[in-house]
Structure 1
Amino acid sequence: MRPTTYPVQFSVEYPDRPLNRLTTFFRLFVAIPILIVVSTVAAQTAQSTSDAKTTVIAFGAGGVLFLGPLLMILFRQKYPRWWFDWNLELQRFSNRVSIYLALMDDRYPSTTDQQSLSLDYPYPDVANDLNRWLPLVKWFLAIPHYIVLFFLEIAAFVVVIIAWFAILFTGHYPRSLFNFVEGVFRWHNRVVGYALVLVTDEYPPFRFNP
């Protein structure tokens, strides 16, 4: 049977063309400006919103708003749309920077355009789609994924180093290595969507494929 499609969808378009060997060689140095930009965004730890009835602090984890959406889901069964959009766009931006560092795209990461990366998940109808109490324990339930991802991300780091040499000598990212790194990114984003961004109650699958 074909596996069920998970709500958090992630993919990177394979660069079926010669990659820029010069920027690949100096990738860590070339990426410094965009790393500074993403760090200034991701360093944000709090946002607040207020109206006549309520004031909520939306503490974040690496720029992702977590505590605010958790409290709103728990007490008011709603997920403010602008918080959802912030989390989604921040994830897209940070992932564009990550795949650039992983040599999966030689185009400089855009702050607006999706480029070769596709990351999406549906805006939740909280009252119908989410259990209001589950956000309290999702971070704990995801511990098995944290353990698996620890080893997978070490392996992905080694694979990127191998790919670095392959690109320098051939101009191409070996497809099997690309698929592995993409799968690790996909796995990571599913766990973030479940445990931190809180957009789904469906437990992330232990697989690389969509």
Structure 2
Amino acid sequence: MKGPTPLRRSVAPAAPLIAENVTHPEAPVSDQSTHAAPVAYPARLQVDYPAQLDRVKTLLRVVLIIPIAIIYGVLTAGATQTVIDQSGEAVSTTSGGIVSCLFLSTLLMILFRRRYPRWWFDFALELTRFGARVCAYFVLLTDEYPSTVEEQEVHLEIDYPDVERDLNRWLPLVKWLLALPHILVLFFLSVAAFFAVLISWFAIVFTGRYPRGLFDFVVGVGRWWLRVQAYAILLVTDRYPPFSLR
């Protein structure tokens, strides 16, 4: 005897799934890509921090620097000539040093010719580097005697300008005036840097180390001076220098 026939359910075939066009809100785009990194100033200065400094060289620094200071002074200082005229009076004439000649010649070249010759720029750059090495040695930032050729621990870079694109021919006439606020601030900072060097002299003589905070401050003052020099004296940029030690 056959049992009851099992009931069969008729199952309709499943409809194929149709992907719907679902609009998903886009993830917010980070604005980091829209903010470009700040462009470095055309004049830059870095000095390698020394792990240890020679105490004897630091003690005698004022004496040791005399020969190289004379060389730098001969290169940059002006000259005064005194003559006796027909009436018997002494007449003195003073000529500007090479720094004054660099400034005046560069100003005239930019003003009338819209040119900054590369060889002229290279000469000004190397003279500035040499002066930076002498100053770094004098303020105890390094023990290595200043070289007239090698970079040593003092890294100074100035970008060569495209005069047609980067420089206004009339601005050099007033840059010295625009730089006065910087010079005023730097006067007080330089006084503070003098005392920082004096304190560091004692620290080096007794411990052989330059306090890092004072080191960074002195380098920062020198960096600020360099930017003002590049703007108002070397005339390599029209970008106004930032009020910053960094």
Shift of 1:86: 1.3
Confirm or deny: 8 A CA contact 2:75 2:97 kept in the other structure: no
Q: Secondary structure at the match of 1:66?
A: helix
Distance (whole Å) between structure 2 residues aligned to residue 108 and residue 66 of structure 1: 28
Distance (whole Å) between structure 1 residues aligned to residue 75 and residue 183 of structure 2: 24
Distance (whole Å) between structure 1 residues aligned to residue 98 and residue 126 of structure 2: 15
- Which consecutive unaligned segments of at least 5 residues does structure 2 have? 1-34, 80-95
Corresponding residue to 2:54 among 20, 35, 40: 20
Distance (whole Å) between structure 2 residues aligned to residue 39 and residue 204 of structure 1: 27
Percent identity, aligned pairs only, is: 55
Q: Structure 1 stretches (4+) deviating beyond 6 angstroms?
A: none
Tell me the amino acid that sits aligned with residue 66 of structure 2: I
The equivalent residue for 1:164 is 201
The TM-score normalised by the length of structure 2 is 0.76
**Matching of residues 145-184 of structure 1 within 5 Å:** 145-184=182-221
Q: Tell which deviates more after alignment, 4-13 or 22-31.
A: 4-13
Shift of 1:132: 0.7
Shift of 1:160: 0.1
Shift of 1:43: 2.2
Post-superposition CA distance 1:145-178 (Å, at most 9, x none)? 0100100000000000000000011100010000
Tell me the amino acid that sits aligned with residue 136 of structure 2: I
**Matching of residues 1-210 of structure 1 within 5 Å:** 4-16=39-51, 18-43=52-77, 62=99, 65-209=102-246
Confirm or deny: 8 A CA contact 2:139 2:197 kept in the other structure: yes
Confirm or deny: 8 A CA contact 1:100 1:106 kept in the other structure: yes
Distance (whole Å) between structure 2 residues aligned to residue 60 and residue 196 of structure 1: 13
Larger Rg: 2
Distance (whole Å) between structure 2 residues aligned to residue 118 and residue 64 of structure 1: 25
Cα gap change, 1:192 to 1:180, in 2 (>3 Å): same
Distance (whole Å) between structure 2 residues aligned to residue 151 and residue 30 of structure 1: 27
Shift of 1:40: 1.0
Larger fraction in helix: 1
Confirm or deny: 8 A CA contact 1:41 1:63 kept in the other structure: no
Post-superposition CA distance 1:9-55 (Å, at most 9, x none)? 11111112x2110010010001101011111111268xxxxxxxxxx
Distance (whole Å) between structure 2 residues aligned to residue 166 and residue 63 of structure 1: 37
Distance (whole Å) between structure 2 residues aligned to residue 115 and residue 122 of structure 1: 20
Tell me the amino acid that sits aligned with residue 57 of structure 2: T
Q: Secondary structure at the match of 2:144?
A: coil
Tell me the amino acid that sits aligned with residue 160 of structure 1: V
- Which consecutive unaligned segments of at least 5 residues does structure 1 have? 46-58
Confirm or deny: 8 A CA contact 1:156 1:184 kept in the other structure: yes
Shift of 1:61: 6.0
Shift of 1:62: 3.7
Count of residue correspondences: 195
What is the RMSD computed on CA atoms of the aligned residues?
A: 1.6
The TM-score normalised by the length of structure 1 is 0.89
